[in-house]
């Protein structure tokens, strides 16, 4: 986890030093990107939320929060959670023209049978702007 965050910050700083005239770093609350993907034996649908982004030509690199809906069947014993749950993740999104690729991280809380852990996923989406 620390390595992934360190790599992301290093990658963004390297790109920041190698900027051309049409490159810039911004802070945004919503970028108009919808992503669907897979994480921890379930699916997710999210929209990019507050983020720090770097734009270079037609490519946008984002590190930020991901308000999401997770779809996962609960296979626990007698009491079960809903299949569809709201969730907040964080992650890296790279958007080129209208295509977006995302690596989200979601936290699964501690339960009676499992420790709390961060889970990494993968997703593909569409950039509306």
Residue 58 structure tokens: 């037609």
**Where is pLDDT greater, at 97 or 2?**
97
Query: What's this model's pTM, rounded to 2 decimal places?
Result: 0.73
What span, in angstroms and rounded, lies between the C-alpha atoms of 71 and 20? 41
Q: Map out the domains of the chain as residue ranges.
A: 2-127
Digit-coded pLDDT (tens) for 46-101: 988 899 988 888 899 999 999 999 998 877 667 777 889 899 999 999 999 999 99
Q: Residues 122, 35: contact at Cβ < 8 Å?
A: no
On the CB side of 92, CA atoms within 13 Å amount to 15
């Amino acid at each position: 986890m620390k390595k992934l965050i360190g790599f992301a910050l290093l990658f963004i700083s390297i790109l920041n030093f190698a900027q051309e005239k049409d490159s810039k770093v911004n802070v945004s609350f919503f970028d108009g990107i919808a992503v669907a993907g897979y994480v921890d034996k379930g699916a997710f649908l999210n929209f990019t939320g507050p983020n720090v982004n770097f734009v270079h030509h037609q490519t946008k690199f984002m590190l930020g929060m991901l308000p999401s809906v997770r779809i996962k069947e609960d296979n626990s014993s007698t009491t079960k959670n809903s299949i569809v749950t709201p969730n907040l993740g964080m992650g890296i999104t790279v958007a080129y023209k209208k295509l977006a690729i995302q690596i989200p991280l979601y936290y699964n809380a501690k339960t009676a049978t499992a420790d709390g852990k961060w889970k990494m996923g993968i997703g593909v989406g569409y950039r509306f702007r």
